[in-house]
Amino acid sequence: MAADEATPAQTQNRRRRTALSGERRISGTLRDRERRAAHPVEGARQMWTLRNGYHKRETEKKTLVAESSQRHRELL
């Protein structure tokens, strides 16, 4: 193997890294730009709020779906 070629593990790691940072890379939204413009600490705080808010909404959605499908099953 040539010295400049990446090992499969390195390639995998790079893929994983880009996949993890993908959320930020792909969504160059206004919110993203605002976040970067903010003070580092404030930006981090904002990011957490956004992230947690998002997850909270997602879990609420899942709960609602689960409840409605449960209700549906009971009706059958």
Domain ranges of the chain: 30-76
pLDDT of 69 strictly over 80: yes
pLDDT score at 66: 84
The pLDDT tens digits for 11-58 are 777 766 665 555 555 455 666 666 666 566 666 666 666 666 666 677
pLDDT score at 35: 61
39 φ, ψ (degrees, to nearest 5) = -60, 140
Half-sphere exposure for 67 (CA within 13 Å, toward CB)? 6
| Triad 49, 44, 57: Cα angle to 5° | 20
pLDDT of 73 strictly over 60: yes
Q: What span, in angstroms and rounded, lies between the C-alpha atoms of 7 and 4?
A: 9
